Amino acid sequence: MKVEKICCIGAGYVGGPTMAVIALKWPEINVTVVDIDDDKIDMWNSDDLSQIPVYEPGLKDIIKQTRNKNLFFSKNIEKAIDESQMIFMAVNTPTKQTGKGAGMASDLTYIENSARTIASFANSHKIVIEKSTLPVRTAEKIKEILSESKNKFTFEVLSNPEFLAEGTAIQDLFKSDRVLIGGESTKTGQEAVQSLVEIYERWIPKTKILTVNVWSAELSKLASNAMLAQRISSINALSALCEVTGAKIDEVSNAIGYDHRIGDKFLKASPGFGGSCFKKDILNLVYLCQFYGLDEVAEFWLHVVKINDFQRERLAKKIDNYVSANNLNKEVGVLGWAFKKDTNDSRESSSIHITYSLLEKGYKVNIYDPKVSKNRIMEDINEVRNFKKTINPDSIIDNIIIHNSIKDLENSSLVLIVLTEWDEFKDLNKSKEDKIIFDFRNILEEKENIYRL
């Protein structure tokens, strides 16, 4: 099938960068990204490229080269679906808040709504591609919705999970370790797989494009994220042991990583993993295991999340113990709100949880992040506040000050906590002998006043 037009539903952290790269590599294909959030589409179309909603190194340049040439951000969802041969679904799939599986399973409302939107506007053969991370067998549900359409159209559903990491999304898309495409073994299923293989083949070596069955593709995404997160929880669990024994976690991690069977990646101790995927995907996996009666397996994976929560609370307590033991004012400066450097995304960031824990302990908290907006920071705190139904909620908000520069923040508090590894924080090493710095990202050299993990 000749692909001339591609549509993507969801202009977020995955949809935006992924479609920008496809548009760059395929100037002869028109790529249209749509979203239910009109304001987001306006931001993607903004003349000032610093206003596009996703901050990713290298993204602005690609948008500059492709936007309104063959990459379009549009509010006309109907037209984009009707005209395209290939439709990617890159909408968010948060953890369910109510109903069966609440707190564990993925909320598939957005995916199902997107499938319904496709079902209402499609009038010709469509290859529908799951980009969002989905529980195994979601493709069945999508097929069911598409089959119920009154419109006469045929379709194939593929699973093509995205493995990009935020902050390095463009590089990850350019040089993917692998591209995974799941499709049905029928003739038409395999033809659809082939059409998508051809899209990626333009820049990804064929040996790195893996074609598998749909369920394997869906499960591989959950499993990859669970394995990565598991390494972080393993090293963070060991960091707690190092602290009480006098071993140094970086030295232990380095020694472990030298074993080529283990490898040195994803072994950095930290205040805990954040981001929109790890916790959600593991809980999803846990739910799946429970559903199939595999309680021990469910418990195994759930502990990866429990250790993450433990690490956050352990570090908040460490600060509190230090402040109490030294009779200091209950005031701290938090450096970094994003869940990792080089992104403006703060979803599930450990900064939120550590800050909130300190606020609950009566602290005044000064915050600075180079890319996360003030509004976003306050929304994050309010979300936890609403969820926890904190007693005396106003006092929590009164105790937060968000600063515009690292200088302002440094002047604000005696105790500073590094929670995101932004490059600009490395300069803290040079100055500030009068400050007490807790470096929970181990980016500073150890000194008398600098405590590393």
| Site of interaction with ligand UDX (CB under 6 A) | 9-15, 35-37, 40, 90-93, 110, 113-114, 131-133, 162-166, 225, 228, 232, 266-268, 270, 273-278, 339-340
C-alpha distance across the termini of the chain, in Å:
54
Dihedral, CA of residue 47, residue 49, residue 51 and residue 57, to nearest 10: 170
Based on CB atoms, which residue is closest to ligand UDX, 70 or 236?
Answer: 236
Based on CB atoms, which residue is closest to ligand UDX, 279 or 385?
Answer: 279
Based on CB atoms, which residue is closest to ligand UDX, 340 or 376?
Answer: 340
Shortest separation between residue 216's beta carbon and ligand UDX, angstroms: 17
Radius of gyration of the chain (CA): 23
Active-site amino acid positions = 277
Dihedral, CA of residue 50, residue 55, residue 59 and residue 63, to nearest 10: -40
Shortest separation between residue 92's beta carbon and ligand UDX, angstroms: 4
Name the residue whose CB lies closest to ligand UDX.
Answer: 12
Phi, psi of 271 (to 5 degrees): -75, 10
CB atoms under 10 Å from CB of 371, counted, come to: 17
Based on CB atoms, which residue is closest to ligand UDX, 40 or 403?
Answer: 40
Based on CB atoms, which residue is closest to ligand UDX, 24 or 228?
Answer: 228
Shortest separation between residue 36's beta carbon and ligand UDX, angstroms: 4
Shortest separation between residue 213's beta carbon and ligand UDX, angstroms: 20
Shortest separation between residue 393's beta carbon and ligand UDX, angstroms: 26
Based on CB atoms, which residue is closest to ligand UDX, 183 or 336?
Answer: 336
Based on CB atoms, which residue is closest to ligand UDX, 281 or 413?
Answer: 281
Distance CA 425, CA 403 (A): 14
Shortest separation between residue 345's beta carbon and ligand UDX, angstroms: 7
Shortest separation between residue 338's beta carbon and ligand UDX, angstroms: 9
User: Helices 109-121 and 138-147: crossing angle, nearest 10°?
Assistant: 30
